Amino acid sequence: MREIGELPGALPAVRSRALAPVRRPGELSRVIPTTDLEAREASAAAAGAAVKRAYVQRMFSDIAPRYDLLNRVLSLGIDRYWRRVALARLGWERHPGGTFLDLCAGTLDVAAALSAQAGFSGHVVGADFAEPMLRAGHAKLRGRAITPVVADALSLPVAANTLAGAIVAFGIRNVADLEACLREVHRALQPGARFVILEFSTPRRALVRSCYHAYFHHVLPRIGGLVSGHRTAYTYLPASVRSFPEGSVLAERMERAGYGDVQWRSLTFGIAAVHVGTKTADGRRETGDGRR
Ligand SMILES: C[S@@+](CC[C@H](N)C(=O)[O-])C[C@H]1O[C@@H](n2cnc3c(N)ncnc32)[C@H](O)[C@@H]1O
């Protein structure tokens, strides 16, 4: 197995980068008591305050050993279906031998699913700034063409115009600066390549919304807290979804960041949404006022 952060020489799209200083896997898996301060920090982070980057990196490092289990239990397995739908929009078949980015890769579910597609002969870079998350997904590498890289979504160790496509699943909501992240991925994409965003959203229909609210705000924080030993991680989750732009607004932001042909659709009564944007053929970015 390749060391995390150590990149293969044959990967021209990616340049090497020193590992971010993160905690060791498993070190923080024990129960962490929730204090008022932690709860306040979680809601400030969800609202996008300056503490967000540090809080998110620490929180995912802490819950990494239980992350996959919690995903399956708390989503009742639907998360796998959502990832499949998102992956189907990436258009990897147009460049089956290309280099693709799984952004905010976590435990590498998306990277593993992409590299396992029949006919895929390319390479997947799984980038995440919480090293324990990448390490928790270690078993999914199994000789596959995946390179886990400890990297921040706002400063990717990837040369401009090189990626054949990029995908982020349940990660972009956690990034402290959405616009900067959209621009950073746009920079790294080849002209014509797609960026697929899979993210939670808030259902519009009143009945679904009230069930969702009860589950997200009452059931999920309790089960999530018990299993992960981290109470605020699962209060941060619904709060961060609430603060994240809804479908049409995210589509507009993608357009403002330079993506063309932006399309999106709701999944499972609006609990999640998938957005797709394409770097235009000339690769230039529109500015907010319509200039290039
Ligand atoms: C909810 S997990 C999603 C993991 C995975 N994509 C999945 O589908 O299960 C969000 C991930 O985003 C990562 N993340 C959040 N902000 C990031 C940033 N600025 N740069 C890199 N990774 C980030 C976290 O460390 C975490 O592993």
Which phi and psi angles does 121 have, rounded to 5°?
A: -125, 15
Residue 15: inside a domain, yes or no?
Answer: no
Cβ–ligand 1 distance for 184 under 6 Å, the answer: no
168 and 274 housed in the same domain: yes
196 and 207 housed in the same domain: no
148 and 219 housed in the same domain: no
Cβ–ligand 1 distance for 128 under 6 Å, the answer: yes
261 and 140 housed in the same domain: yes
> Ligand 1: distance of its center to the CA of 207 in Å?
30
Note the pLDDT tens digit of each residue in 142-201.
889 999 999 999 999 999 999 999 999 999 999 999 999 999 999 999 999 999 999 999
Beta bridge partners of 198: 169, 274
> Ligand 1: distance of its center to the CA of 176 in Å?
11
284 and 274 housed in the same domain: yes
Cβ–ligand 1 distance for 220 under 6 Å, the answer: no
Residue 11: inside a domain, yes or no?
Answer: no
pLDDT at 198: 98
132 and 230 housed in the same domain: no
pLDDT at 19: 33
For residue 66, pLDDT beyond 80: yes
With beta carbons less than 8 A apart as the criterion, state whether 116 and 140 touch. no
For residue 29, pLDDT beyond 80: no
Distance of alpha carbon 207 from alpha carbon 215, whole angstroms: 13
124 and 192 housed in the same domain: yes
CATH number at residue 175: 3.40.50.150
151 and 135 housed in the same domain: yes
pLDDT at 145: 95
Residue 8: inside a domain, yes or no?
Answer: no
280 and 172 housed in the same domain: yes
Cβ–ligand 1 distance for 75 under 6 Å, the answer: no
The residue whose C-alpha atom lies closest to atom 16 belonging to ligand 1 is 175
Residue 22: inside a domain, yes or no?
Answer: no
Residue 114: inside a domain, yes or no?
Answer: yes
What range defines the domain where residue 289 resides?
78-201+246-292
Residue 220: inside a domain, yes or no?
Answer: yes
Which DSSP string do the residues of 97-124 spell out, in sequence order? TSEEEEET-TTTHHHHHHHTSTT--SEE
Note the pLDDT tens digit of each residue in 242-274.
899 999 999 999 999 999 999 999 999 999 999
Cβ–ligand 1 distance for 148 under 6 Å, the answer: no
Note the pLDDT tens digit of each residue in 105-138.
999 999 999 999 999 999 999 999 999 999 999 9
220 and 91 housed in the same domain: no
> Ligand 1: distance of its center to the CA of 133 in Å?
8
> Ligand 1: distance of its center to the CA of 217 in Å?
21
> Ligand 1: distance of its center to the CA of 276 in Å?
18
How many structural domains is the chain composed of?
A: 2
255 and 173 housed in the same domain: yes
Candidate from 20-34, 177-191, 211-225, 265-279 with smallest mean pLDDT: 20-34
Q: Is the pTM of this model over 0.75?
A: yes
167 and 284 housed in the same domain: yes
pLDDT more than 90, % of the chain:
59
Residue 111: inside a domain, yes or no?
Answer: yes
